[in-house]
Structure 1
Amino acid sequence: MGTRRRGEQLERAILQAAAEELRESGYPGMTMDRVAARAGTNKNAIYRRWPNRAALGVAAYRHLSDAVMPNPDTGTLRGDALEMLRRANETWSSPHGAILRGLLAAAADDPELLTLMRERSGGDTMDRVWLAIVERAAARGEAPASAAHHRVATTPMMLLRAEYAMRGHPSVPDEVLVEIVDEVFLPLVRGHG
């Protein structure tokens, strides 16, 4: 008989099982029964940690996101911003992005899921990376210190998300990414002083 897992070890096993279910079946196909079977536990152990499927789905997506969060340091603000946008664009059109798109589609019919995604989407982590990029640029003398502001730093991602919403498909041409950086982000940052 195997050793009974508890605490963090069991939580990691459940999150990993849920993440695998998301990858294979998407959010619509992820069930508590399938996650419990894959994790080698019972549904009660899951429900003690996550009150419902939506909470588990968002936690599993965040578990996946934390593993792939980029933090480029190319030596220039332009290089870092382009690298972040290119990676985000690549992720959005990948199986990982398909999971997020599935969660967003399900959120249209489940207000609680949308609220959880806003609260726990990993956006805070992404925002911190963008802020760090601007702070490094300011430290190099490439940007005014006043540009290290949440709204300024996250502008490229907001514009990229708007492109996804407007186009309705999960990939944005590279020339649009360059325009976001060169025509909007860099002038915004440099003019912030």
Structure 2
Amino acid sequence: MPERRRGAVLDEALLDAAWAELMENGYASFTMDAVVQRAGTSRPVLYRRWPDRHELVRAAVTHALDRDRVDIPDTGTLRGDVLTLMREINATRVQLATILSVHLAGYYQETGTSPADLRQFAHDGRRSSVDVLFDRAAARGEIGPEGLSDRLRALPFDLLRHEFLMTLAPVPDQVLVEIVDTIFLPLVLDQDGS
């Protein structure tokens, strides 16, 4: 007889099952019953935690992001940090970006939300890796103490996401270097008046 799961162990098993359902079958085929079956539990156990599939999807995405956190690089330069973080995301997050954008289209339509809303929900006020990178760059004097606009801070990562969505594949390294060296850094230097 299998050991009965409780608390955090059970929650993790349910969220892992929900994430696996989303990855394999997409949102259109995502059902609470499929998650129950995959997790080997009962409907009441799942519904006590998440009363509908929208809440379960949000929780599964948050769980997946928390479980697969990317290390924050510290190379000593803003260029090195941004490029290293982009390379890490490129190597590990293509599938996640695809799921959040393509596989969850029905979720966004049903809930009237967007990928940005879901990402915001998942981060829920926590500092992002990008914030840490730019704080370090300001402390080193690479950018002004007032920092950069949110749009400029997000630019290299937004361009990386765009490449993911256009190709559904990892981005060639020369494209990452081009994003950083010919688009992002010239704008950052222009912000400083350099």
Q: 1:144–1:189: 8 Å Cα contact kept in structure 2?
A: no
Percent of pairs with identical residues:
42
Q: How do 1:172-187 residues align onto structure 2 when only pairs under 5 Å count? A: 172-187=171-186
Aligned position for 2:100:
100
CA shift for structure 1 position 81:
0.7
**CA deviation vs aligned residue, 1:112-168 (integer Å, no higher than 9, x gap):** 46476254244866x621111011122222222222553332221122233445x35
Letter of the 1:16 partner, please give it: D
2: CA distance between counterparts of 1:67 and 1:168?
Answer: 25
Cα 1:113–1:150 shift into 2, 3 Å: closer
Report 1:1-193 matches (<5 A): 5-70=5-70, 71-94=72-95, 96-107=96-107, 109-112=109-112, 114=114, 117-122=118-123, 128-147=128-147, 149-165=149-165, 167=166, 169-193=168-192
Rate the CA distance shift 1:123–1:89 in 2: closer, same or farther, 3 A: farther
TM-score normalized by the length of structure 1: 0.77
Cα pair distance change 1:101/1:92, threshold 3 Å: farther
2:121 partner letter = R
Q: Contact between 1:91 and 1:97, CA under 8 Å: does it hold in 2?
A: no
Structure 1 gaps, min length 5: none
Task: Please list the CA deviations of residues 25-48 of structure 1 after superposition, one character each: whole Å capped at 9, or x if unmatched.
Answer: 343443211212333332223223
Shift of the 55–174 alpha-carbon distance from structure 1 to 2, 3 Å rule, reads same
Q: Secondary structure at the match of 2:135?
A: helix
Q: Could you say which structure has the higher helix fraction?
A: 1
TM-score under structure 2 length normalisation? 0.77
Q: 1:151 to 1:113 in 2, by over 3 A?
A: closer
- Partner deviation per Cα, 1:162-182 (whole Å, 9 max, x = no partner): 3445x3544433322212211
In 1: Cα distance, 2:150 partner to 2:164 partner: 21
CA contact (8 A) 2:87 2:176 kept: yes
Q: How many residues align?
A: 190
3-state DSSP of counterpart to 2:191? coil
Q: Gaps spanning 5+ residues in structure 2: where? A: none
Structure 1 SS opposite 2:146:
helix
